[in-house]
Amino acid sequence: MAGGNLSSEKIDLLVYGPNKPIIDKGFSDQFVLHPAETRADLERISPAVKEKIRGTAVTYSTARCDGGVMGMFPKLEIAASFGVGYDHVDANYAREHNIVVTNTPDVLTEEVADIAMGLLIATLREFVKADRYLRSGLWTTQQYPLSVGSLRDRKVGFVGMGRIGQAIARRLDASLVPVVYHTRNPVAGLSYKHYPDLIEMAKAVDTLMVIVPGGPSTAKIINADVLKALGPRGVIINVARGSVVDEEAMIAALKSGTILAAGLDVFANEPAVPDELKAMQNVVLLPHIGSASVVTRNAMDQLVVDNLKAWFAGKPPLTPIAETPVKGR
């Protein structure tokens, strides 16, 4: 891998995905940016320019950066991806072709944890349903019914316990809510009870907080068997990826009373959301806004810029993913 800053040579960068001011304006005159919002835009880049591109900013998870995309650019050294999840980037291809991949962890941890906690409470205490009740004028004639759900007398089982999971767990600690978790291996330094078996954890809790990376290894791990084990008081909160939940099985479980409710920030085929979910009163639906505040999205965009600038200054990237280790820096 080359990297490093050649004194008079312009560095060509691909900006793949939606245009963003911080990324568009974050580079000096030494860099030449080539925007391409869609795969079709990539195809229109001239062969001469493709030969020069050495890095790419992948500005959103809708920009699928697979081997076919990376393979268009024979001198590509680094793909700086926006977001903590990077299942839209083919990390295996990148590793095999000596391309470093970076993501944007940490700067969004607390924001997503806030959303997860808010979504949990909103789902249990029926905030959206109660808001509609007030706006309809019904409160003038009768009190809103007592909510069946409550944060009291609950135990939350985490599916995944990385940075964001631990931040959510800290909030639940402060709310005096017991926490346990399921991962392939116990997380060093955590005192929460670890369940190596997801079904066994689901039987032991009444709330699932899903905060595990997407990708083939986690596809539909929240399936009908897990939902049945969770039971009729069960609530599922998903702030991870829609792919980790069997959406059809979840809809069936909500309809039948197999589980009580769901709070969802992500969906299997977003932005398309099943009409059946939108018609339900026992779900809270958010349009994938976990990190979507101005301050946090700006910090994420800046980290994309900083990773690329560090690399081409001959330094290690700030936040490389584990699958593409940086050598010799």
Q: How far, in Å, CA of 165 to CA of 138, rounded?
A: 38
Range of the domain at 45: 11-105+294-312
In a domain, 1, yes or no: no
Provide the number of structural domains found in the chain.
2
Marked catalytic residue, from 170, 270, 276, 329: 270
Q: In terms of domains, do 222 and 253 share one?
A: yes
241 is catalytic: yes
For the residues 40-45, what does the mean pLDDT come to? 96
Are residues 156 and 172 in contact, defined by beta-carbon separation less than 8 angstroms? yes
1 Cβ neighbours under 8 A, 6+ residues apart? 77, 98, 100, 327, 328
The edge-to-edge listing of strands for the beta sheet with 261-264 is 193-195, 179-182, 156-159, 207-210, 235-238, 261-264, 283-285
What residues have CB less than 8 Å from 135, skipping those under 6 apart?
Answer: none
Q: How confident is the model at residue 328 (pLDDT cuts 50, 70, 90)?
A: low
Query: Of residues 88, 241, 247, 297, which has the active-site annotation?
Result: 241
Q: Within this chain, do residues 92 and 235 fall inside the same structural domain, yes or no?
A: no
Kindly indicate the confidence band of residue 9, based on its pLDDT and cuts at 50, 70 and 90.
confident
- Amino acid identity, position 301: D
> Catalytic: 297?
no
Q: In angstroms, rounded to a whole number, what is the distance separating the alpha carbons of residues 224 and 123?
A: 21
Whether 298 is covered by a domain: the verdict is yes
276 near 248, Cβ under 8 Å?
Answer: no
* Selected catalytic residue, list 288, 297, 323, 329: 288
Q: Are 206 and 212 in contact (CB under 8 A)?
A: no
Q: What pLDDT, on the 0 to 100 scale, is given for residue 8?
A: 60
pLDDT score at 261: 98
Q: Are residues 171 and 94 in the same domain?
A: no
Average pLDDT in the 159-187 region?
97
The candidate with the shortest Cα–Cα distance to 93, out of 73, 113, 110, is 73
* pLDDT over 90 at 7, yes or no: no
Q: Please indicate, yes or no, whether residues 151 and 66 belong to a single structural domain of this protein.
A: no
* Amino acid residing at 299: A
Q: What is the pLDDT of residues 244-265, one digit of tens each?
A: 999 999 999 999 999 999 999 9
pLDDT tens by residue, 86-144: 989 999 999 999 999 999 999 999 999 999 999 999 999 999 999 999 999 999 999 99
Q: Which strands, in side-by-side order, build the sheet including 78-81? A: 31-36, 11-16, 53-58, 78-81, 100-102
Residue 329 is predicted with a pLDDT of: 64
* pTM, entire model: 0.89
pLDDT tens digit sequence for 293-320: 999 999 999 999 999 999 999 999 999 9
**The domain that contains 115 carries what CATH number?**
3.40.50.720
pLDDT band at 224 (very low <50, low <70, confident <90, very high): very high
